[in-house]
Structure 1
Amino acid sequence: MGKSSKIKVQDREVSILLNEERDFVSLTDIAKYRNEHDPNDIIRNWMRGRTTLAFLGLWEVLNNPDFKPVEFDGFRNEAGHNYFVLSPQKWIEKTNAIGIVSKSGRYGGTFAHKDIAFEFASWISPEFKLYLITEFQQPKNSENERLNLNWNLQRTLAKVNYRIHTDAIKEKVIPVEVTKEQAARFYATPY
């Protein structure tokens, strides 16, 4: 996994990881909104549902050329039955899924691509999902504003430099004997 950060959603910290230029959000942190002590049960219960598996399967088909659809069909046929249980690790292992990542250890947990995480958050609480999306987009909006400011600054500097460069060319490079009409054929004017 790449770099990580945290956002605050309704007084709860939610971890974000950047993995291969894709944002992954902690399902474990989102699940703590419902069950602080055993968020993994919440995730497993969500993964048992037919609509959840249909969503996960479609996301993988659209984004993962190595997804195993035959194994997915087996899960889809079992989904919704009382005996059916599916963990993120089993889903990843059997289908070669890339939309969900499960890490063990002290800083581990279950992370999902933002599309999947927002779907999970909606299952947890529509209110929580909206706050999550708002907080998730906040740093991105700030970054876009910074990039726009930088772009405008570069544009302004380019305009100023253009005038300086064209004046220098007129004074130092174009021979004095060249008329304005002759120079106009070779050099653009700033007006």
Structure 2
Amino acid sequence: MTEIAKEKKSSSPGYLIQSWMRSNATIEYLRIWEKIYNPRFQEAACDELIHTVKTTGTTLTPSLWISTTQAMGMRTSRGKGGGTTAHPEIATMFQAWMFPEVMLDLIQCYRMIQH
């Protein structure tokens, strides 16, 4: 995800990831993904985290999401070569959010396989 964000704005990729995580649609997507693939996902903690973010102005970061909910769809690392990585289904959603042409490609592919 950090590499995808660098394509758009190389100076602050972390900020772009945080901006994506401000969306209710993003959080619901992450929640659904984790419920499907992660038996350790803490849904009650997710609800509390969403409430805290909405009522206190806390910034939701990948690290906070992961540590609070036991999410496994994203990983973060610090230091040289660090950043945020994600399962391809999550990274693609982020990429589609950043680049409308990617979203259009996805929709066109989906429509083609429907016919």
Fold in common (TM above 0.5): yes
Structure 2 counterpart of 1:49, from 20, 23, 43: 23
Q: Which has the higher helix share?
A: 2
**Alignment-derived partner of residue 39 in structure 2:** 65
Structure 2 counterpart of 1:109, which letter? Answer: G
SS at structure 1 position matched to 2:40 = coil
Deviation at 1:33, TM superposition (A): 2.3
Structure 2 counterpart of 1:92, from 60, 66, 74: 66
SS at structure 2 position matched to 1:33 = helix
Residue pair 2:38, 2:71 contacting (<8 A) in 1 also: yes
Output the CA distance in 2 between the equivalents of 1:127 and 1:103: 29
Counterparts of residues 98-177 of structure 1 (less than 5 Å)? 98-128=72-102, 130=105
Q: How many residues align?
A: 105
Deviation at 1:85, TM superposition (A): 1.2
- Structure 1 segments, 4+ long, off by >4 Å, are 78-82
SS at structure 2 position matched to 1:48 = coil
Output the CA distance in 2 between the equivalents of 1:93 and 1:73: 14
**How many percent identity over aligned positions?**
35
Deviation at 1:78, TM superposition (A): 5.0
TM-score (structure 2 length as normaliser): 0.81
Residue pair 1:49, 1:80 contacting (<8 A) in 2 also: no
Going from structure 1 to structure 2, the CA distance change for 1:42 and 1:74 (only over 3 Å counts) comes to same
TM-score (structure 1 length as normaliser): 0.50
State the structure with bigger RCO (CA 8 A, min sep 6), 1 or 2. Answer: 2
Highest CA radius of gyration, 1 or 2? 1
Stretches of structure 2 that go unaligned for 5 or more consecutive residues are: 106-115
Deviation at 1:67, TM superposition (A): 0.4
Q: Which has the higher strand share?
A: 1
Structure 1 counterpart of 2:5, from 6, 23, 31: 31
In angstroms, what is the RMSD of aligned CA positions?
2.0
Output the CA distance in 1 between the equivalents of 2:51 and 2:38: 21
Output the CA distance in 1 between the equivalents of 2:24 and 2:10: 25
Residue pair 2:49, 2:68 contacting (<8 A) in 1 also: no
Residue deviations 1:23-45 (CA, integer Å, cap 9, x gap): xxxx0011112211000000011
Stretches of structure 1 that go unaligned for 5 or more consecutive residues are: 1-26, 131-191
